[in-house]
């Protein structure tokens, strides 16, 4: 697969799939060599050294200088628009992601849509969701097996435990620029293939999950010099792909949007507590409430009839 700098000159824009003012991001749909491609752009975090900050507002050669347009003034409050000097190595203006070739599932995921609160009973899971998950395995998650077993992205892996039952890999998530610690985002993908989502977890997994929690916090904390208490570990339901994985982010991360919202993210500590206490010690027997978009295949497969 060619690098992103070679792919983008062939991108032919078709339409905007989504634009989010909260995360300062935009998602574009187009074609590369007649195949669908999704390009997402997200404004990068401010990064300046002390020298740049000292001269930030100098009129002649400052990073901002006189390139300012006033919007309004009210008492002590002033606001306006400005241009900031950018540099690809030290202060890039945006992070860019490309999905190519993009499948219909990708297009539905990234397009703007209406969302609803779902009440997924054990019966709805077994009748609607579980059969769907089986169709999303196999070649659809070959890229996961490539990372786990075929040495793909080996240069990015922060930690690897090869044990087939308890092992995992940890690597930076594609949504992170790899530099800005405030937006640190890593992912842990487990080796075992019998756990597709939180629904497959039960009380027998508690010791393993506790060990995972401890190991991940220690590894990321040491690697990036971040206190272990400033890391947020969570699981998505529904997840983007059906091979169990854990998200690890800096608790200060300001731009995660719905990714950490109630109805999407479940804290790993809460999962462990739910499995270790109470009468029901298996997620397959629980009723789960979560947010689902109308573009998700599960909506038309029957979950639209299971809203709250």
Query: Looking at the structure, do residues 161 and 235 belong to the same domain, yes or no?
Result: yes
Candidates 205, 245, 296, 306; catalytic one: 245
26 forms beta bridges with 19, 41
CA gap 251, 2 in Å, rounded: 34
Digit-coded pLDDT (tens) for 191-211? 999 999 999 999 999 999 999
Beta-carbon count within 10 A of 247 CB: 21
Q: 156: domain range?
A: 113-305
pLDDT on residue 104: 87
More confident position, 88 or 124: 124
Annotated catalytic, 245?
yes
Q: Per the domain annotation, does 103 fall within a domain?
A: no
236 a known binding residue?
Answer: yes
- In this structure, of 68-72, 101-105, 240-244, the range with the lowest mean pLDDT score is 68-72
In a domain, 100, yes or no: no
245 is in an annotated binding site: yes
Which of 94, 123, 141 is the endpoint of a domain? Answer: 94
Residue 101: inside a domain: no
CATH of the domain at 282: 3.30.428.10
175 labeled binding residue: yes
Whether residue 219 sits in one domain with residue 82: no
Residue 267 has pLDDT above 90, yes or no: yes
Residue 66 in contact with residue 50, Cβ under 8 Å?
no
Q: In Å, what is the CA distance from 308 to each residue of 112, 118, 283, 287, 305?
A: 22, 6, 19, 12, 9
What is the per-residue pLDDT for 300?
Answer: 96
On whether both 282 and 185 belong to a single domain, the answer is yes
The CATH number covering residue 81 comes to: 3.30.200.40
**Residue that is written with structure tokens 């998700």 in the block:** 296
Q: Which of 66, 94, 122 is the last residue of a domain?
A: 94
Angle at 143 (CA atoms; ends 137, 145), nearest 5 degrees = 75
Query: Does 268 map to a domain?
Result: yes
Any idea what the Cα angle at residue 265 is, between residues 149 and 293, rounded to 5°? 95
Structural domain total, the chain: 2
Q: Is 247 annotated as a binding residue?
A: yes
**DSSP per residue over 70-90, as a string?**
EEEEETTEEEEEE----BTTT
Which has more confidence, 112 or 229? 229
Could you tell me if residue 73 is inside a domain?
A: yes
Domain boundary among 60, 94, 128: 94
Contact 198, 271 (CB under 8 A): yes
């Amino acid at each position: 697969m060619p690098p992103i700098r070679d792919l983008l000159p062939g991108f032919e824009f078709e339409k905007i799939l989504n634009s989010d003012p909260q995360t300062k991001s935009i998602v574009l749909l187009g074609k590369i060599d007649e195949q669908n491609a999704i390009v997402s752009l997200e404004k990068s975090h401010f990064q300046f050294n002390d020298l740049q900050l000292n001269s930030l507002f100098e009129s002649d050669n400052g990073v901002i200088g006189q390139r300012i347009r006033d919007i309004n003034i009210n008492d002590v409050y002033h606001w306006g628009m400005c241009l900031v000097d950018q540099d690809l190595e030290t202060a890039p203006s945006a992070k860019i992601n490309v999905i190519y070739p993009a499948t219909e599932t990708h297009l539905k995921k990234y397009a703007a849509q209406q969302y609803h609160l779902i009440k997924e009973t054990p019966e709805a899971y077994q009748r609607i969701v579980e059969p769907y998950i089986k169709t999303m395995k196999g070649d659809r998650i070959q890229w996961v097996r490539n990372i786990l077993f075929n040495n793909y992205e080996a240069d990015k892996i922060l930690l690897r435990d090869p044990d087939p039952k308890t092992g995992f890999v940890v690597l930076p998530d594609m949504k992170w620029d790899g530099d800005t610690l405030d937006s640190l985002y890593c992912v842990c993908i487990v080796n075992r293939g019998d756990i597709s989502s939180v629904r497959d977890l039960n009380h027998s997994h508690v010791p393993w999950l506790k060990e995972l929690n401890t190991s991940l916090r220690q590894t990321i904390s040491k690697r990036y010099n971040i206190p272990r208490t400033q890391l947020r570990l969570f699981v998505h339901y529904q997840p983007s792909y059906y091979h169990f994985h854990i998200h690890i982010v800096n608790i200060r991360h300001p731009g995660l949007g719905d990714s950490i919202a109630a109805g999407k993210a479940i804290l790993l500590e809460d999962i462990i507590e739910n499995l270790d206490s109470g009468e029901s010690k298996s997620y397959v027997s629980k009723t789960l409430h979560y947010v689902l978009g109308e573009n998700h295949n599960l909506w038309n497969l029957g979950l639209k009839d299971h809203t709250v």
